[in-house]
Amino acid sequence: MTCKRSLLPSAYSRVVHRTLPSGTAARCRLLWGYLLVFAGILVGLSQPNGLRAAEPVIQFNLLQLPSSRQAMRTLQRNVNFFWDKRPLRDGLQEISRLHGVSIWLDRRIDPTQPMTFSTGGGGNRDGTTLAEALRQVATIAQAEMGLIENVVYLGPVGEVPRLQRAAVQLHNAISESPTTRRANMRPLSWQELATPRDVLETIQKQWSIAVDGTLPHDLLHAGDLAQPSTLATQLTLIAGGFSKQVEQVRAGGFRTAPLGKQTAWRCTYSQQDLQLARLAALKKQFAGSGLKCRDAKCTAVGTTDFHLGLLTPSATKRRPGDTAQQRWGFTVSNASAENIVNSLAASIGFETKWDPSCQQQDKTQLVSFEVDNATLDELLEQFARAASLKVQRDGDTVTISPR
């Protein structure tokens, strides 16, 4: 059997249907079908890590805005805090205030659930970063944590990567339209018992836009974002709690839509902007991700967290040696004095001794205090003041006695 075919579909139609017998034509069509599938595989394999070119190409990257860069740096700070049956919402609000980072708790995550949590478990002398701590908190709350521009989002497991991609796509679409909203940053706040529709209306008024579609009814606690954010981020946050996203249909015109199922997207970066030493670990962590570099440019394909892993600067590890000159942040509310001391000892790495004259009530009393960017001695002084106890440090040994 001999088959001849032009590269153009119209020419192919003429050749097959006018010159070949029907049986031969059918076999030719089947053969060319296999060849097209094989060609598609080859195209896919030519992409980074064998990924297909189906992922959206992002030209205006939300993660490369100064607001996102600052949030990445903030999340790499070493932190130290201890919660003892503390409501999730209260703890997150305090972290937001102390570190100046916006945190959005999805409406489907119980904000009142009591959380018992301590950073630095097991005597981790390198410290725990804010990002690591928030991921652990999210896991305990049966949620997932992800960064959307400069907002830490805690939401249902499996939806956060989809929502991150929705925000990236929306920012790219807004940036490609003939408007000036691309790099604008605006604050967002809402009153107690406001509804999602109220918040959406506030966004529309502040940005002079129109959004077709409504959000279901719910009541929200009063809140705000600690830092101004982009239009794409604000629209994504308010819609995300209902498994929805916002799409741009025209300049200044938007609509709500079901949240997409896909999580990956692609973008090209300057090679010098990436933490290439992490690539092997990131590709192992995020299956199906990839990176292809040429002429100092690298095209990354993967979930938002894969992109963030390539972009986020490394955390500064604590230097071994005297902990007295290191700086600490610590927040605790209504925890027993003994639990606080044990948590500090495990996190920072010192031994504790309770003076025999201390009563049981000295150890079990509930204590609340907070410090930020404090030395170890300043931290211990604040604890002593809150607990009405005397604390003395001698090297790596801390002694607690009655005042």
Write the CATH number for 347: 3.55.50.30
Per the model's pLDDT, the better-predicted residue between 254 and 98 turns out to be 254
Please give the Cα distance from 305 to 297 (Å, whole number).
Answer: 20
Q: Is residue 39 part of a domain?
A: no
* pLDDT band for position 38 (cuts 50, 70, 90): low
Of 241, 258, 275, which residue constitutes the final position of a domain? Answer: 258
Residue pLDDT, tens place only, 323-336: 666 777 777 878 88
* pLDDT band for position 7 (cuts 50, 70, 90): very low
Q: Please give the share of the chain, as a percent, with pLDDT higher than 90.
A: 62
Taking the CB of residue 133, how many other CB atoms lie within 10 A of it?
A: 23
Q: Is residue 321 part of a domain?
A: no
pLDDT at residue 46, as a whole number: 43
**What average pLDDT is seen over the chain?**
84
pLDDT over 70 (residue 170)? yes
pLDDT over 90 (residue 37)? no
pLDDT at residue 8, as a whole number: 34
Q: Please give the share of the chain, as a percent, with pLDDT higher than 70.
A: 81
Q: Is residue 317 part of a domain?
A: no
Of 311, 346, 377, which residue constitutes the final position of a domain? Answer: 311
* Largest interatomic CA distance in the chain: 106
Whether residue 207 is found in the same domain as residue 66: yes
Whether residue 161 is found in the same domain as residue 21: no
pLDDT at residue 340, as a whole number: 87
Q: Which domain range does residue 245 map to?
A: 62-258
- The C-alpha angle 118, 94, 389, rounded to 5 degrees, equals 60
User: What average pLDDT does the segment 283-302 reach?
Assistant: 95
pLDDT over 60 (residue 1)? no
Please give the Cα distance from 211 to 209 (Å, whole number).
Answer: 7
Q: Is residue 83 part of a domain?
A: yes
How would you class 120 by CB atoms within 10 Å of its CB: exposed for 0-12, middle for 13-18, buried for 19 or more?
buried
Q: State the pairing for strand pair 189-190/114-118.
A: unpaired
User: What average pLDDT does the segment 54-65 reach?
Assistant: 93
pLDDT at residue 181, as a whole number: 56
Residues forming beta bridges with residue 82, ordered by sequence position: 118
Whether residue 339 is found in the same domain as residue 233: no
pTM of this prediction?
Answer: 0.76
Phi-psi region of 131 (alpha: psi -120 to 50; beta: other; left: phi over 0): alpha
- Nearby residues of 146 by Cβ (< 8 Å), 6 or more positions away: 152, 153, 155, 160, 161, 163, 164, 304, 305
**φ/ψ of residue 269, rounded to 5:** -125, 160
Whether residue 195 is found in the same domain as residue 154: yes
Among 35-49, 268-282, 343-357, 367-381, the least confident range: 35-49
pLDDT at residue 53, as a whole number: 46
Whether residue 134 is found in the same domain as residue 11: no
pLDDT at residue 26, as a whole number: 57
pLDDT over 80 (residue 187)? yes
Q: Is residue 281 part of a domain?
A: yes
User: What average pLDDT does the segment 330-345 reach?
Assistant: 83
Whether residue 137 is found in the same domain as residue 66: yes
Whether residue 117 is found in the same domain as residue 247: yes
Mean pLDDT is highest, among 37-41, 45-49, 78-82, for: 78-82
Whether residue 139 is found in the same domain as residue 241: yes
Q: Is 263 helix (H, G, I), strand (E, B) or coil?
A: coil
**Edge-to-edge strands, sheet with 290-294:** 265-270, 297-302, 290-294
Whether residue 244 is found in the same domain as residue 280: no
* CB contact at 8 A, 78 and 316: yes
Per the model's pLDDT, the better-predicted residue between 386 and 79 turns out to be 386
How would you class 153 by CB atoms within 10 Å of its CB: exposed for 0-12, middle for 13-18, buried for 19 or more?
buried
Residues forming beta bridges with residue 391, ordered by sequence position: 400
Q: Is residue 369 part of a domain?
A: yes
Q: Give residue 326's Cα distance to chain centre.
A: 27
pLDDT over 60 (residue 73)? yes
Whether residue 96 is found in the same domain as residue 182: yes
pLDDT at residue 122, as a whole number: 44
* CB contact at 8 A, 209 and 231: yes
pLDDT at residue 216, as a whole number: 95
Give the H/E segment covering residue 255.
Answer: strand 253-258
DSSP of 117-141, one letter per residue?
EETTTTT-TT-EEHHHHHHHHHHHT
Overall number of domains in the chain: 4
Residue pLDDT, tens place only, 266-290: 999 999 999 999 999 999 999 999 9
**φ/ψ of residue 41, rounded to 5:** -60, -45
Whether residue 74 is found in the same domain as residue 109: yes
Q: Is residue 53 part of a domain?
A: no
Of 258, 279, 300, which residue constitutes the final position of a domain? Answer: 258
Whether residue 217 is found in the same domain as residue 108: yes
* pLDDT band for position 28 (cuts 50, 70, 90): low
Q: At what angle do helices 9-19 and 22-45 cross, to 10 degrees?
A: 150
| Spatial CA neighbour of 167 closest among 326, 39, 288, 303 | 303
Q: Is residue 56 part of a domain?
A: no
